[in-house]
Amino acid sequence: MNPRTSVVIVGGGIAGLAAAWELSGASRGPTTSTPRIELVEASSHCGGALRRAQFAGRTVDLGPDGFLARRPEALTLAHELGLDDELVPISASGASIWLKGTLEELPTGLALGVPTSAKSLRTLKGLTWSSRWPAWRDEHAPRKMEVTDDVSIGAILRRKLGSELTYQLIEPMVGGIQAGRVDELSAQAVFPALFAAAQRGGSLMKSLRADAGSGASAGVNAQRILGPLFMTLRSGVASLAEELVRQLQERGVVVRCDAAVSAIRPTPSSVYPWEVDTDDTATGASAIILATPAPTAGRLTSALDGELSDLASVNSAGAAMVTFAFAATDTTLPPTGTGILIPLATAWNDDIMMTTAVTFLDRKWEHLRREGEVLLRAHVGRIDDRRCEALSDEALVERVRDELATVLGRVGAPLAARVQRWPQGLPQYYVGHTQLVARARRALAPYAIRLAGSSYDGVGIPASIGSGRHAASEVLALLDAASTP
């Protein structure tokens, strides 16, 4: 009798869990042909950055607090898990930016922070006339720029829209999402719409405006036709991962935490072609999905092909989030919007601000509101700013609270505060990232090993889910082909 096929997933973040879900039959459930599935996670917790905790009488996420709803992967998975009643749409829109000592409302019509018309910049008093001029020029006499191969986001923006707009207005959003620097991040991998617009030539803003749709009612129409831009779960985004683990275990998937994989190796004489080793186990595998950070995947596979050692070059940025509850009577917020962006190198006292963004959690998500309180989160740290790592939690809370007092004008003593650190939170997609990942996948193509996760196909929750499910679909196809006479 042939042994039952076996798939080992290395890495228990949302990509690895989504891969296990797909392997186990997804919404259809397991069948007699479903392989044995084992998921191995090095830490004590599955879900990666999806974690939650009780804070100030609420359940709050310690990692991402929502997900992009215009991509289908997270919503589809929530539906398949039976979590439709838990889904909550974002309840506010808009944001502000701290420019030269003043809070200003961000203009509408931005494409990931990039303005799509020069006219929209007139309301931003913190921008100089000389910074607005390149935007006018881009609409009327755009600079030429030949883009064939991958290039940094910053190179495109500086050429087309000038340095001040790039660093004061656009970097806080697009760089902040990745916790990286626009002069290092790949346009092709991080901002493909910008890359495509630059390749087309002509006005960058007009091209982005055409992609997004124009007109005063565009946002209203998008909301009506496509649904809300962002969503969360009433019990926290982390409940998505927790429910996944529960249902996977019900299906017979073996979920092992505190089990770091030390090696994967071919075993030609065994009934299984691969073996996955931890300190105290050796598991036979017909196929393997590596849903780990890229450097870990590179370490485990570099002996198969030298190209795979390049995965070690995928760096990750550390960051921290400080969540506060304040008395509403002691704290002044902007009248509208879900948060504030703070440009890099913003002066503060005799230093530079550590806070890069502020999210008004109880404005963003209606179920987090409490009478008489304000719930907000400050984001700290970038790829090249690790100052927060040198501070204790108490010192970081004090520093960030003082910075908030500068930005907001009035902030009382916290009713509660919590620091969550993510030392390796966000992979950095440097120029050439798409090509690096393609080379790694070509090198693994002859083997029953696939890559999945935020190191490869996008850092957001929907992208990670899609990456895991796609890898699982490929593995199922390999297993099916191997079993066909």
For position 405, which CATH number holds? Answer: 3.90.660.20
H-only helix segments in 201-310: 204-212, 218-226, 238-250, 294-301
Residue range 24-50: average pLDDT?
A: 96
H-only helix segments in 127-203: 129-140, 153-161, 163-165, 171-178, 187-190, 192-200
State the pLDDT at residue 424: 83
CATH classification at residue 168: 1.10.3110.10
* Confidence band of 211 (pLDDT split at 50, 70, 90): confident
Q: Which range of residues forms the domain containing residue 174?
A: 110-223
Phi-psi region of 228 (alpha: psi -120 to 50; beta: other; left: phi over 0): beta
Q: How far apart are CA 60 and CA 64, in angstroms?
A: 10
> Does residue 402 sit within a domain?
yes
pLDDT at 482 over 60: yes
> Does residue 62 sit within a domain?
no
State the pLDDT at residue 227: 58
* Confidence band of 219 (pLDDT split at 50, 70, 90): very low
pLDDT at 159 over 80: yes
pLDDT at 216 over 50: no
State the pLDDT at residue 269: 76
Q: Are residues 337 and 202 in the same domain?
A: no
pLDDT per residue as tens digits for the range 340-374: 999 998 999 999 999 999 999 999 999 999 999 99
Residue range 291-315: average pLDDT?
A: 96
Q: Are residues 214 and 260 in the same domain?
A: no
Burial of 256 from C-beta contacts in 10 A (0-12 / 13-18 / 19+) = middle
Q: How many helices (H) and strands (E) does the chain have?
A: 16, 22
pTM score: 0.94
> Does residue 102 sit within a domain?
no
Q: Are residues 297 and 321 in the same domain?
A: no
Q: Are residues 286 and 157 in the same domain?
A: no
Q: Are residues 305 and 337 in the same domain?
A: no
pLDDT at 212 over 90: no
Looking at the DSSP bridge assignments, the partners of residue 377 are 323, 359
Residue range 329-338: average pLDDT?
A: 94
State the pLDDT at residue 221: 44
Whether 30 and 247 have beta carbons less than 8 Å apart is answered as no
Q: Are residues 216 and 255 in the same domain?
A: no
Q: Are residues 306 and 373 in the same domain?
A: no
Radius of gyration over every alpha carbon of the chain, rounded to an integer in angstroms: 24
* Confidence band of 175 (pLDDT split at 50, 70, 90): confident
Q: How far apart are CA 209 and CA 258, in angstroms?
A: 48
Q: What are phi and psi of 101, to 5 degrees?
A: 85, 10
State the pLDDT at residue 213: 57
Tokens at 440, concatenated: 């790694």
pLDDT at 139 over 70: yes
When divided into structural domains, the chain yields a total of 3
Q: Are residues 163 and 212 in the same domain?
A: yes
pLDDT per residue as tens digits for the range 55-67: 999 999 999 999 9
The whole-chain average pLDDT of the chain stands at: 93
State the pLDDT at residue 230: 93
Task: Using alpha carbons, select from 160, 115, 130, 166 the residue that is nearest to residue 142.
Answer: 160
